[in-house]
Structure 1
């Protein structure tokens, strides 16, 4: 009898084990991977959003910067991560829209290897030059570049900087030399120091310098001017039709369970509707514009991939 009771107890214990192990998500810290360096615009957005998301999930949201190879290092890391909701990816058009056309081969697929969760918003960029460049407008910069073909260099720490500058070069018919960088902060440091003369920087990492006398801000890349940089005209005023900005969103690895995706999307809707967060991000030029559903974000990602493929083709950029 004792043996029978013991066997029965053991069987009940085994039956109850899965229920005991299946703790509600999340049961521990969540890591939010950022494929750019600390101090970049995406990093600033990730830290602000991560703090609010942590409050909603009641678990720490840890920012893990994995810069390098035009966001490929972070993308490959997340694509290979376990799809359990504890490794997430805040990235931009660099990894998911531009890289497929900028590189001959990638170790990840931007569509197949990730689960879209939510778009977060958009980050404008601005064209700036070192004060030693004798140009106080984009028109004057174009004239100077035409008179000095190939003598000006420009920083390219991300795809938006690269594609924006290459498009300006094509539309204006000028020659400048691209200098690749691993991070936006380093690119800005070298612009200030004069190691490069031209840089299209995101407002998130460059705002304080864009308003200083250490560099000269000539134009913004968006179709309209922004109140964050009063008096700075859009590139399109000089080069009609130019309009380029950077999007930002959160993904998980492919195969993320639908309940986890839905929970994260629901919490992000609340986080991104927070007026305090919106105001904080607006100060660095970031405009919050969340997708409503993961499916809507997935459609947006596919559309942006097609859009950037066309932009890069028109700019005449040869894949590396």
Structure 2
């Protein structure tokens, strides 16, 4: 009997198929063409070339990324369905929705935090404040009359954090995406916008918007002359929007480790680093444990902001 058990166990182990031996799907909970989609397609192509297996992008937009995250959470935990998530997917939605159809901690296994980019506070070129210190003084004295565009949920949360940290007031205006928000700022319809660095980068460089500060710990290599909130004395304003990859809970650890190694390898490739640098994107390639710690830290931070500002989803 013992011999039969050992033989059965050996057969079971031996029967495990090598991974991957068929196409891998990455669910992107946003439309094609956005930042998360672009980053994921670059990485997927490189992984596919190395593994000799297709890595397919499955765009599932809608509901502040809830639709795509739910689909990934309910997928078979075999390593063939992954989720591309951003900070709001895992660290903001739980505080915004009383009933969320997925649990960011229980339903997923982190693979790696791949890339990030800061937000940038910028204005129409004719706006009076010439630098951040003048802007803060203006917002303290007449902020109630000044509008700030919020292109997306992370910007709204960061904007409410900015009010608290800087001790200023202003009126946040929600937009459905960065393009219309930037267009209104460049046209002078709204004086200020808090937006992701990537979409803003060409407009800053062309002088169509005036930058004040970025929310990263260090200055962006893409805009070395733009100060950080941290160096201006506001380290609490360190806010990065990140793109990370996860697998459904229950995925074997050896598969998670193999995925992590492959993502990290691709993120170190010179042509990938050059491509992302042009997008104003910082490269990370963390371990699963480091990514899990980032999710916990951001969840606690944003939960306080969302509750204090009573932010509601529309």
Aligned residue for 1:114? 108
Distance across 2 between alignment mates of 1:268 and 1:82: 21
2:220 to 223, 226, 246: 226
Distance across 2 between alignment mates of 1:143 and 1:65: 43
Aligned residue for 1:212? 206
Distance across 2 between alignment mates of 1:39 and 1:132: 31
CA contact (8 A) 1:128 1:200 kept: yes
> Does residue 243 of structure 2 align to residue 248 of structure 1?
yes
1:11-26 to 2 correspondence within 5 Å? Answer: 24-26=18-20
Distance across 1 between alignment mates of 2:131 and 2:67: 37
Structure showing greater Rg:
1
Normalised to the residue count of structure 1, the TM-score between the two structures is 0.81
Deviation at 1:251, TM superposition (A): 0.7
CA contact (8 A) 1:40 1:183 kept: no
Distance across 1 between alignment mates of 2:43 and 2:291: 17
CA contact (8 A) 2:166 2:234 kept: no
> Does residue 46 of structure 2 align to residue 52 of structure 1?
yes
Deviation at 1:312, TM superposition (A): 4.5
CA contact (8 A) 2:143 2:171 kept: no
Deviation at 1:67, TM superposition (A): 3.4
Deviation at 1:32, TM superposition (A): 1.9
CA contact (8 A) 1:40 1:205 kept: no
Partner of 1:250, secondary structure, is: strand
Distance across 1 between alignment mates of 2:72 and 2:36: 16
CA contact (8 A) 1:155 1:187 kept: yes
Distance across 2 between alignment mates of 1:310 and 1:203: 24
> Does residue 134 of structure 2 align to residue 140 of structure 1?
yes
Distance across 2 between alignment mates of 1:154 and 1:67: 26
CA contact (8 A) 1:123 1:247 kept: yes
Aligned residue for 1:275? 270
Cα RMSD of the aligned pairs, angstroms, is: 2.9
Distance across 2 between alignment mates of 1:24 and 1:159: 40
Q: Which runs of 5+ in 1 are unaligned?
A: 1-17
Distance across 1 between alignment mates of 2:217 and 2:294: 20
1:122-137 to 2 correspondence within 5 Å? Answer: 122-137=116-131
Distance across 1 between alignment mates of 2:83 and 2:137: 42
Q: Given the superposition, is the C-alpha separation of residues 279 and 111 from structure 1 closer, same or farther in structure 2, using an over 3 Å criterion?
A: same
CA contact (8 A) 1:40 1:184 kept: no
Partner of 1:199, secondary structure, is: strand
CA contact (8 A) 1:36 1:68 kept: yes
Normalised to the residue count of structure 2, the TM-score between the two structures is 0.82
What is the number of equivalent residue pairs in this alignment? 300
Q: Given the superposition, is the C-alpha separation of residues 236 and 187 from structure 1 closer, same or farther in structure 2, using an over 3 Å criterion?
A: same
